[in-house]
């Protein structure tokens, strides 16, 4: 039967590569936050998914057509500079309005909110991509943190390292990413925030290395349901999570 006139059916081409954009590594990349990028590349690769990586320094334009944007932590002055340049650039805001995934850590988390505290404690405007605002807290939060993720996200308990002075409040359009079990996080018993596909967190570690479930959440938002990873590939991170969580009296 020649219901297609004998012509071959559509040949599936290679799946489109997931475009990862690492925003301002020259200003925002403390505590090994580049590991977040490496883990996304690795976990996509374990599923046979192609990725393209663009590292965009602060003197370059942020492309508006990425799938996942990563922002790391930073010192106070580079953080203010990064916010100023990102506001002028407009690429990240354009990506967010297209529904791109944004994952921002610490200084990056504060920058994507409405405002944060600069080097002298002054209010600095952020990008307004997540309904949060941050200011300077009474004392610096430094140390291990563990937190229970919003059950709606289906991500196992978080483990990470925090080092920040900022405290963060949510407006009605943002939900807490997690409830703190041990540590400080936002300063009100919650940790991080999300709204749509924009997520911010105070967790270094790096966060996606210690919490591959969070990495898979981001990849799944772009690529749809993901096949599981061979458990043999997860053994090291399983040991790391068990050890880090046990150091704070928690289980994985």
Strand pairing report for 175-182 and 190-195: antiparallel
- Confirm or reject binding of residue 30 to ligand GLN (CB under 6 A): yes
CA of 213: how far to CAs of 144, 186, 219, 228, in Å? 19, 21, 10, 11
CA of 89: how far to CAs of 74, 94, 160, 230, in Å? 19, 10, 31, 41
| Distance of closest approach, residue 48 Cβ to ligand GLN, in angstroms | 34
Catalytic annotation, pick one of 164, 204, 241, 244 = 204
- Confirm or reject binding of residue 107 to ligand GLN (CB under 6 A): yes
| Distance of closest approach, residue 76 Cβ to ligand GLN, in angstroms | 5
106 is catalytic: yes
Question: How many chain residues interact with ligand GLN (CB under 6 A)?
Answer: 11
End-to-end CA distance of the chain: 56
From 110, 125, 118, select the one nearest 185 (Cα to Cα). Answer: 110
- Confirm or reject binding of residue 133 to ligand GLN (CB under 6 A): no
Binding residue (CB under 6 A) for ligand GLN from 166, 176, 205, 206: 166
Q: DSSP secondary-structure letter at 159? A: E
Binding residue (CB under 6 A) for ligand GLN from 34, 163, 197, 229: 163
According to CB under 6 A, which residues from 41 to 100 bind ligand GLN? 73-74, 76, 79
- CB of 109 within 8 A of CB of 69? no
Q: Which residues bind ligand GLN (CB under 6 A)?
A: 30, 73-74, 76, 79, 106-107, 163-166
């Amino acid at each position: 039967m020649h219901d297609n006139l004998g012509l071959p059916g559509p040949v599936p081409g290679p799946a489109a590569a997931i475009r990862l954009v690492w925003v301002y590594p020259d200003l925002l990349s403390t505590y090994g936050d580049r590991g977040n990028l490496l883990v996304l590349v690795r976990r996509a690769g374990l599923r046979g998914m192609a990725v393209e990586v663009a590292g965009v320094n602060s003197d370059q334009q942020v492309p508006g057509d990425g799938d996942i944007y990563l922002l790391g932590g930073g010192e106070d002055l580079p953080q203010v500079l990064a916010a100023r340049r990102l506001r002028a650039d407009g690429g990240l805001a354009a990506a967010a309005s297209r529904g791109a995934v944004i994952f921002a850590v610490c200084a990056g988390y504060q920058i994507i909110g409405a405002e944060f505290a600069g080097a002298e404690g002054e209010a600095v405007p952020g990008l307004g991509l997540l309904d949060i605002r941050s200011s300077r807290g009474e004392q610096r939060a430094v140390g291990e943190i563990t937190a229970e993720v919003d059950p709606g996200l289906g991500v196992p308990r978080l483990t990470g390292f925090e080092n920040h002075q900022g405290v963060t409040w949510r407006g009605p359009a943002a939900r807490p990413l997690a409830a703190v079990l041990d540590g400080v996080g936002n300063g009100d018993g919650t940790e991080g925030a999300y709204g749509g596909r924009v997520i911010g967190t105070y967790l270094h570690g790096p966060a996606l290395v210690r919490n591959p479930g969070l990495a898979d959440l981001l990849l799944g938002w772009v690529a749809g349901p993901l096949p599981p990873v061979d458990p043999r590939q997860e053994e090291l991170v399983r040991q790391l999570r068990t050890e880090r969580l046990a150091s704070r009296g928690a289980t994985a």
